[in-house]
């Protein structure tokens, strides 16, 4: 995935098949063309890296526990895939649309968690969600080699700094 999203790599069916050690005929058996492939790739990323995480947080848990679970799952994602999708979105409009929709969904879910705590106004919940999400995406870029444990420690510090508890996850 990462090699396909490198800025200087020309993304062609032949290049995808060469790197995946698959035949061009096999590619066209599964996809109508490069645009169909890219849209399928972006939808798969959305399902695996967003929908599945939201589902795994469990609606039955209190908001603070859901938020902690979400953050735990998020820091254990393959951040190289996230980075690759964003690089690909920078040059492929059909991918960019899906990435924007994923960003809105993720921010919306965080907003919902904050708002359901009754500690934040709707506007404050949305602002906090946007800031936290921007930090998450930014950390993927600036701290690419940071371990999941270190990211969790930073998250605990974030909780303290935002007044959401002494690292106990309370909203």
Lowest mean pLDDT among 10-14, 34-38, 104-108, 113-117: 10-14
pLDDT of residue 60: 84
What confidence tier does 133 reach under pLDDT thresholds 50, 70, 90?
very high
Residue pair 24/13 in contact by the 8 Å Cβ criterion: yes
Tell me the CATH class for 3-161: mainly alpha
Domain boundaries, the chain: 3-161
pTM: 0.82
Whether residue 66 is predicted with pLDDT greater than 70 in this model: the reply is yes
Query: For 27, what's the count of Cα atoms within 13 Å in the CB-facing half-sphere?
Result: 20
pLDDT of residue 118: 80
Instruction: In whole angstroms, give the CA distance from residue 45 to residue 6.
Output: 17
Lowest mean pLDDT among 36-45, 140-149, 159-168: 159-168
Instruction: In whole angstroms, give the CA distance from residue 72 to residue 57.
Output: 10
pLDDT of residue 71: 87
φ, ψ for residue 2 (rounded to 5)? -60, -45
Burial of 5 (0-12, 13-18, 19+ CB in 10 A): buried
pLDDT in tens, 40-64: 999 999 999 999 999 999 778 888 8
């Amino acid at each position: 995935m990462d090699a396909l999203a490198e800025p200087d790599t020309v993304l062609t069916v032949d290049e995808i098949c060469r790197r995946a050690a698959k035949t061009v005929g096999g590619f066209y058996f599964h996809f109508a063309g490069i645009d169909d492939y890219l849209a399928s790739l972006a939808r798969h990323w959305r399902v695996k890296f967003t929908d599945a995480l939201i589902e795994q947080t469990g609606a039955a848990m209190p908001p603070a526990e859901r938020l902690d679970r979400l953050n735990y799952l998020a820091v254990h994602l393959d951040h190289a895939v996230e980075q690759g999708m964003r690089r690909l979105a920078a040059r492929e409009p059909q991918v960019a649309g899906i990435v924007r929709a994923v960003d809105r969904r993720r921010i919306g879910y965080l907003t919902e968690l904050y708002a359901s705590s009754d500690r934040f106004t709707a506007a404050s919940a949305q602002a906090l969600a946007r800031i936290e999400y921007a930090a998450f995406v930014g950390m993927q870029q600036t701290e690419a080699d940071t371990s999941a444990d270190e990211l969790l420690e930073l998250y605990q510090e974030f909780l303290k700094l935002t007044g959401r508890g002494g690292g106990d996850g309370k909203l």
